[in-house]
Structure 1
Amino acid sequence: MDNKITDKLRILADAAKYDVSCSSSGGKRKNENKGLGNAEGMGICHSYTEDGRCVSLLKILLTNFCIFDCAYCVTRKSNDIKRAAFTVQEVVDLTINFYRRNYIEGLFLSSGIFKNADYTMERLVRVAKKLRQEEKFNGYIHLKTIPGASEELIKEAGLYADRLSVNIELPSEKSLKQLAPEKNYAEVLQPMGAISKQLVLAKEEQKLFKSAPAFAPAGQSTQLIVGASAEDDRQILQLSNQLYKGYNLKRVYYSGYVPISTDIRLPIITEPPIIRENRIYQADWLMRFYGFDVQEIVDEQHPNLDLDIDPKLSWALRNRHAFPVELNTADYELILRVPGIGVKSAKKIVSARRFAPLQFDHLRKMGVVLKRAKYFVTCQTKSLQRQDFDSHYIRQKILFGGGSVRSALLTQQLDLFQQAS
């Protein structure tokens, strides 16, 4: 590979790592001693298809030049970094060459903004168009949609890309004005709305005409930065819920703020809030697959997620009146709310109990995490654990384990005594 192209790839692949709106493995394993494979991160990330397959993507920026000066962004115009830009043909050639060497199965292409939104978006579309029409490339393509780009360019992008994404970046208009004053929510939501509209139209056309062209068949996604601004988890999840319902998003990705700037408008932190990011992902999962409403997960009394335990367990401990759940008779929706029982296990429970009453040994074989579930379920009215323990005791027992019930109860009583004194 040409040294000039290699330098560009190094710069623009590294700059692309901050965009998590396509799933990335985050791996950094190097290939040493002539081993097989390489996860060092030269622009290769991993995403997952709807059927669960893991695909490798070339993840790069078209350029890290940018006309905006967003405080949280490594490519902002005031940042003193080495700049680079690919031509349209260079991206096409890299994608095809990497694909032929079996390094990748697709392309994730984002970009800083050259002159304006349309100027940049037009080049992103040209890359996808060349790959599809000239190179007959049928691999996965994920294109970043530039806020403020025209609806015509967005529509054309969806004809060539499998997925489109528009990064909303911050959880409120107020924070966006403070940290990225040149941007506004209207310019972000406009392309989201255009993509959503085109997705609906394309589905309707395909019902009438089988030969109707598909539009971004993998849907659209977005990214929210967690920790760069003052919003609590409740505000973040409420926004995500609105985006899922109002714009038919496939995924909202959450990115813990990486401290890359000394801007006084940003919080002083030494490392990204990884645990908080993980808890928000878990809460997002509860909304999408477990039937939870936002207000059940976070509310005015609990605006932030518990960092020590997952949000499902947190909800269960706050709602002990809903338990225990008798697994031989309870509705599927209620079984889903039991800590330690996932979607697959819940389906197995509902299916298996049609043939014979369930016992706890059956649950173990189904993959139920009884360490958690035993405090919240019964099988034929029998329980593995006393159901009259208070929430504090259960929390401590799940978090720390070990020790006898008696010693745990003594610890609980001591805690209560200290709180009262």
Structure 2
Amino acid sequence: MLDMAVLDLRRKLAILSDAAKYDASCASSGAVQRNSLNGKGVGSTEGMGICHAYAPDGRCISLLKILLTNFCIYDCAYCINRISSNTPRARFTVQEVVDLTLNFYKRNYIEGLFLSSGVIRSGDYTMEEMVRVAKSLRLDHDFRGYIHLKLIPEASPELAAEAGLYADRVSINIELPRDDSLKALAPEKDPTDIKRAMGRMRLAIDDHAEPGRKARRRAFARSQSTQLIVGADEAKDGDILSRSANLYGAYRLSRVYYSAFSPIPDASHRLPLVRPPLLREHRLYQADWLMRFYGFAQSEIVAAGQDLDLSVDPKTSWALRHRDRFPVDVQIADKETLLRIPGLGAKAVARVLVARRVTRLTLDDLKRVGAVVKRAKPFVVTADWRPGALTDRDDLKAVLSPAVQLSLF
């Protein structure tokens, strides 16, 4: 029979891993390789036997993802862990999190740790406990696996900087895309504090990334990210993407994660009763990708105060609104133009630029380089294809709108 201590730990793990599922902002890309102090370190983000498992929407699924505690002094209306929520509560000790991480890694269940927490006592106290976990893993156990720490915005700058010394990535959640919504639904949180904390972390990351600093300083978090909840307030997709564009520019975030709002028990009447369609979350990720890697401005994808078209992906939607720019001859078009053709991803475009130096491209060639030819056909000219009136068909959107369209572009 299992002793009570083991049963209690399992109960804590069940509660605090379930409570962590609402935080989408974890991914293990960009981890810095840490050298072992004695050659016998535990864990690695690279090397034989280590793999990164991602869900189709980009979330990393190979981390131990938990809260230190789901007790919280705040009463954010959208959060199941708010102080007024009637939910089971639990709290790990620092040592319990350290032991769980090491034991799960040694069993090959995980490759690292994502640690967040409700705020207990104060922001400083909570942040100090989380830093103690990461510090113990790194210094006491020479753990070189991936660590992602959630920062408490109101915690002292010194604690946030210390967190950066032991984490590969940090994140500070803005949660809601509009400041007025945050003030209404989470009155104890200050948007200014969140932005100030992001700004300080950007400066710290930039400082440690300067040439010549690597040899003199310890490893430091390579990037920071955030999360925006979709559908908890009245913000439209255009408003959400506008906030994302601002965050990327002002704080050089590596990622903005989008999480569809999930209705919670005993919710405030100010919150919706049903969750938004998951397809809306997916379209936001696609639009975010266009801004980050395809040269699209937010205003080109969707206007402020408007929602994305759920029936087609954002790039196809843009192409349908700009039919005068198509069809495009893939043999002579520049890179920027090719990136705007539906069905051609960034890798396919790179291969097109190489392949067309030695051959006149056909539809089969586009397929071989990774293009989705069915989606691209109305918008391209190749050696063996010209769309003719297809590009101008009134029902082209319907032709390009399968029942479920989940691939990126």
**TM-score bucket (shorter structure):** 0.7 to 0.9
Bigger radius of gyration: 1
1:369 alignment counterpart: 372
8 Å CA contact retained: 2:279, 2:310: yes
Change in Cα spacing, 1:208 to 1:167, as seen in structure 2 (3 Å) is closer
1:390 aligns with 2:389: no
2:192 alignment counterpart: 186
1:264 alignment counterpart: 269
Gaps of 5+ in 2: 29-51, 404-409
1:210 alignment counterpart: 215
1:96 aligns with 2:99: no
Amino acid at match of 1:214: A
Superposition pairs of residues 140-289 of structure 1, within 5 angstroms? 140-204=146-210, 206-208=211-213, 210-217=215-222, 219-261=223-265, 262-269=267-274, 271-289=275-293
1:276-309 Cα deviation digits (max 9, x unpaired): 1111010000001111000100125x72100111
2:355 alignment counterpart: 352
Percent identical residues: 55
For 2:248 and 2:53, how far apart are their aligned partners in 1?
Answer: 20
Amino acid at match of 1:158: G
For 1:259 and 1:122, how far apart are their aligned partners in 2?
Answer: 31
For 1:138 and 1:389, how far apart are their aligned partners in 2?
Answer: 53
Superposition pairs of residues 305-324 of structure 1, within 5 angstroms? 305-324=308-327
Name which of 2, 6, 27 aligns with 1:2. Answer: 6
1:248-273 Cα deviation digits (max 9, x unpaired): 1000000000011431111221x443
1:86-111 Cα deviation digits (max 9, x unpaired): 01111111111111111111000000
Change in Cα spacing, 1:268 to 1:208, as seen in structure 2 (3 Å) is closer
For 2:378 and 2:72, how far apart are their aligned partners in 1?
Answer: 54
1:327 aligns with 2:333: no
Superposition pairs of residues 399-414 of structure 1, within 5 angstroms? 399=401
Deviation, structure 1 residue 387: 3.8
Amino acid at match of 1:307: L
8 Å CA contact retained: 1:225, 1:257: yes
1:121 aligns with 2:124: no
8 Å CA contact retained: 1:220, 1:249: yes
Amino acid at match of 1:15: A
For 1:370 and 1:389, how far apart are their aligned partners in 2?
Answer: 14
1:41 alignment counterpart: none
Amino acid at match of 1:378: V
Gaps of 5+ in 1: 25-45, 402-421
Could you tell me the TM-score, scaled by structure 1's length? 0.85
For 2:25 and 2:288, how far apart are their aligned partners in 1?
Answer: 14
For 2:61 and 2:201, how far apart are their aligned partners in 1?
Answer: 24
1:24-63 Cα deviation digits (max 9, x unpaired): 9xxxxxxxxxxxxxxxxxxxxx766xxx997711000000
For 2:107 and 2:315, how far apart are their aligned partners in 1?
Answer: 44
Tell me how many residue pairs correspond in the alignment.
373
Change in Cα spacing, 1:65 to 1:18, as seen in structure 2 (3 Å) is same
Deviation, structure 1 residue 388: 5.4
2:339 alignment counterpart: 336
What is the DSSP-based 3-state SS (H/G/I as helix, E as strand, rest coil) of the residue aligned with 2:63?
strand
Report the aligned-residue RMSD. 2.1
8 Å CA contact retained: 1:121, 1:153: yes
8 Å CA contact retained: 1:376, 1:387: no
Deviation, structure 1 residue 4: 1.0
For 1:298 and 1:358, how far apart are their aligned partners in 2?
Answer: 33
For 2:353 and 2:214, how far apart are their aligned partners in 1?
Answer: 39
Deviation, structure 1 residue 210: 2.0
Return the structure number with greater relative CO, CA threshold 8 A, min gap 6. 2
Deviation, structure 1 residue 149: 1.0
What is the DSSP-based 3-state SS (H/G/I as helix, E as strand, rest coil) of the residue aligned with 1:14?
helix
For 2:214 and 2:380, how far apart are their aligned partners in 1?
Answer: 50
What is the DSSP-based 3-state SS (H/G/I as helix, E as strand, rest coil) of the residue aligned with 1:125?
helix
8 Å CA contact retained: 2:312, 2:400: no
2:31 alignment counterpart: none
Amino acid at match of 2:155: A
Q: Stretches of 4+ moved more than 6 A in 1?
A: 52-55
8 Å CA contact retained: 1:58, 1:104: yes
Superposition pairs of residues 7-46 of structure 1, within 5 angstroms? 7-23=11-27
Change in Cα spacing, 1:3 to 1:136, as seen in structure 2 (3 Å) is same
8 Å CA contact retained: 2:105, 2:112: yes
1:135 alignment counterpart: 141
